[in-house]
Amino acid sequence: MALCLELNVSSQGESIEEAKRMLQEACGEYVSYMEEKNLEIRSVPLEILREFLLEDVEYVRPSDDWVYSENITFEVGAIA
């Protein structure tokens, strides 16, 4: 999964590279749409992002002895 916090856009792919490429396309389409409709672009609030990322943690638990942790690893990148 790939997220663009600045635009509140997400995408996914079979690999990190595909997810990034799909996110880049989704961001371009989103910006074009917002400009065409003359709408304001706002960032997603961090609490909503946290809730989104953690809401399915019970469903992806690899085993019963797995313990949830607040530590989540992110790959951060910038696309110019």
Evaluate whether residue 78 is within a structural domain.
Answer: no
**Which residue range is the domain that position 12 belongs to?**
2-54
Evaluate whether residue 65 is within a structural domain.
Answer: no
Evaluate whether residue 73 is within a structural domain.
Answer: no
Beta bridge partner(s), residue 2:
11
Q: How much of the chain exceeds pLDDT 70, in percent? A: 69
> How does pLDDT run across 48-79, given as a tens digit for each residue?
877 877 776 665 566 666 665 555 555 556 55
Evaluate whether residue 20 is within a structural domain.
Answer: yes
Q: pTM of the entire structure?
A: 0.59
Lowest mean pLDDT among 8-17, 35-44, 68-77: 68-77
Evaluate whether residue 64 is within a structural domain.
Answer: no
Evaluate whether residue 75 is within a structural domain.
Answer: no
Evaluate whether residue 42 is within a structural domain.
Answer: yes
pLDDT attached to residue 74:
53
Q: Into how many domains does the chain fold?
A: 1
- Tell me the mean pLDDT in the region 29-54: 86
H/E stretch holding 31 reads helix 16-36
CB-based contacts of 20: which residues, under 8 Å, 6+ apart?
A: 2, 13, 77, 79
* Closest by CA position to 12, among listed 23, 27, 24, 1: 1
Q: What is the residue whose two structure tokens read 């990190």?
A: 16
